């Protein structure tokens, strides 16, 4: 890191000065914030953040460096367009660290900015909504022009940039907070993961539950998925607007009722669309590890990790579709169940262990459904 001046400029003309780190370039994307206190490497590498400039609300970032084991993307590379922090730690102190955050972002050509008033920025995005922005070392007037020319997140298919090009098998099962018990239920069962930008820890949880995991690209047809003889189908998380993924909605419709189905995050939204519902864009989204969710059947409250800017419109769901979970802050959709087609989904991320074990039973529920089908 140097003392080179940089700016984050929002499309509404608001300018946030700071100092450059990482790559020296101009990046554009949707400016969002996360209330996550730790796990900046997992945030950087979560494919669901593709196309976004992420602001950390926790003040000091980078103090434990970067290591090759904590990446959530298959490649280990970051997915964000830019990274905004209040204070970049001058040292990286951790026995697992292999490089600094500054060096990691520079190596992957991702622009960062530090010494930003992230409290002011977060309040601005909360009050005015997430919006396009430009980050870089150039003239603020040119950055504003770049921000205003960037495509709006609504209507964007960003899955094409993060989905794998070929099918793959996944066997890794290290570092998972796995619940005791579900392995015997799903042992040897074959789940096909439709990978819209899947986080690795979701796949680890599937393996920990006993599943044999095959991942396939987002545009794989229902015929080809069923041709793999799965015992179940899983719809992963991913970036962008779910309504732009007509090919995925069609695939889900063709799979429903043929195999047990489970969806997380984008997978939740795609299930709702396939069932006849609608989605819409939230003002500033839900991003962070302290999101309270209520299970409507049990009344139990879970503290969850979330990362999404779009949401299921509960009023649009047809009869027979059960809303199973809601967000306690705003009452939005956090879970669905469609018993007639043996499918369920959640908007939040159980594998992220925010509780830390509040939501891991969802993998057990999936294993039970598969075992009984």
- Give the model confidence (pLDDT) of 205-226 as tens digits: 999 888 999 999 999 999 999 9
- Give the model confidence (pLDDT) of 38-75 as tens digits: 899 999 999 999 999 999 999 999 999 999 999 999 99
- Residue 260, SS3? coil
- C-alpha torsion 250→46→234→252, nearest 10: -10
Can you give the pLDDT at residue 185? 74
- The Cα–Cα gap between 51 and 78 comes to 11
Half-sphere exposure at residue 344, Cβ-oriented, CA atoms within 13 angstroms: 19
- Other CB atoms closer than 10 Å to residue 107's CB: what's the count? 14
In the chain, domain spans: 5-149, 159-372
Q: How far is CA 188 from CA 128, 228, 255, 279, in A?
A: 49, 14, 21, 35
Can you give the pLDDT at residue 182? 46
- The Cα–Cα gap between 351 and 360 comes to 7
The CATH fold of domain 5-149: Glucose Oxidase; domain 1 (3.50.30)
Can you give the pLDDT at residue 208? 87
- The Cα–Cα gap between 207 and 188 comes to 10
Joined together, the tokens standing for residue 135 give 């980050």
- The Cα–Cα gap between 343 and 257 comes to 8
Helices 361-372 & 200-208, crossing angle to 10 degrees? Answer: 50
- The Cα–Cα gap between 348 and 330 comes to 14
Joined together, the tokens standing for residue 350 give 């159980």
295 dihedral zone (left: phi>0; alpha: psi -120 to 50; beta): beta
CB 195 within 8 A of CB 165: no
In terms of DSSP bridges, do strands 5-10 and 131-136 run parallel, antiparallel, or are they unpaired?
Answer: antiparallel
Q: Which CATH class is domain 159-372?
A: alpha beta
How much is the average pLDDT of 247-264? 98
- Give the model confidence (pLDDT) of 308-346 as tens digits: 999 999 999 999 999 999 999 999 999 999 999 999 999
Q: Binning pLDDT at 50, 70 and 90, where does residue 131 land?
A: very high
Half-sphere exposure at residue 167, Cβ-oriented, CA atoms within 13 angstroms: 13
- The Cα–Cα gap between 195 and 213 comes to 11
Can you give the pLDDT at residue 209? 87
- The Cα–Cα gap between 132 and 144 comes to 10
Is 122 a residue whose pLDDT tops 80? yes
In terms of DSSP bridges, do strands 52-56 and 82-84 run parallel, antiparallel, or are they unpaired?
Answer: parallel
Contacts of 105 (CB under 8 A, 6+ apart): 21, 22, 23, 44, 78, 83, 111, 112
Confidence (pTM): 0.95
Q: Cα Rg for the chain, rounded, in angstroms?
A: 20
Q: Among all residues, which ones are annotated catalytic?
A: 265, 349, 351
- The Cα–Cα gap between 225 and 192 comes to 7
Q: How far is CA 10 from CA 27, 134, 346, in A?
A: 12, 7, 32
Arithmetic mean of pLDDT over the chain: 94
Joined together, the tokens standing for residue 309 give 């800017």
């Amino acid at each position: 890191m140097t003392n080179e001046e940089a700016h984050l400029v929002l499309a509404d003309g608001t300018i946030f000065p700071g100092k450059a780190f990482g790559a020296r370039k101009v990046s554009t994307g949707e400016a969002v914030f996360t209330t996550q206190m730790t796990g900046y490497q997992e945030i950087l590498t979560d494919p669901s953040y593709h196309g976004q400039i992420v602001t950390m609300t926790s003040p000091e970032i980078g103090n434990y460096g970067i290591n090759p084991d904590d990446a959530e993307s298959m490649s280990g590379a970051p997915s964000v367009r830019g990274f905004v922090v209040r204070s970049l730690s001058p040292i990286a102190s951790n026995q697992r660290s292999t490089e600094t955050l500054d060096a990691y972002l520079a190596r992957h050509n991702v622009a960062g900015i530090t010494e930003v008033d992230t409290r002011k920025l977060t309040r601005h995005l909360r009050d005015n909504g997430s919006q396009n922005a430009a980050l870089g070392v150039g003239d603020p007037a040119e950055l504003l022009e770049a921000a205003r020319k960037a495509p709006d997140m609504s209507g964007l298919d960003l899955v094409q940039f993060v989905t794998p090009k070929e099918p793959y098998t996944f066997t890794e099962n290290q570092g998972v907070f796995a619940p005791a018990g579900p392995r015997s239920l799903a042992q040897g069962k074959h789940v096909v993961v439709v990978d819209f930008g899947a986080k690795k820890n979701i796949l680890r949880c599937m393996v920990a539950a006993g599943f044999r995991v095959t991942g396939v690209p987002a545009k794989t047809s229902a015929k080809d998925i069923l041709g793999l003889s799965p015992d179940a189908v899983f719809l992963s998380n991913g970036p962008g607007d779910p309504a732009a993924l007509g090919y995925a909605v069609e695939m889900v419709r063709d799979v429903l009722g043929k195999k047990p189905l489970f969806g997380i995050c984008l997978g939740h939204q795609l299930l709702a669309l396939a069932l006849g519902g609608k989605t819409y864009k939230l003002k500033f989204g839900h991003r962070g590890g302290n999101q309270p969710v209520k299970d409507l059947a049990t009344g139990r409250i879970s503290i969850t990790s979330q990362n999404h800017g779009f949401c299921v419109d509960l009023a649009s769901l047809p009869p027979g579709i059960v809303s199973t979970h809601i967000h306690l802050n705003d009452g939005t959709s956090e879970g669905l169940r469609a018993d007639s087609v043996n499918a369920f989904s959640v908007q939040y991320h159980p594998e992220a262990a925010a509780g830390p074990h509040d939501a891991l039973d969802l993998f057990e529920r999936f294993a039970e459904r598969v075992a009984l089908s």
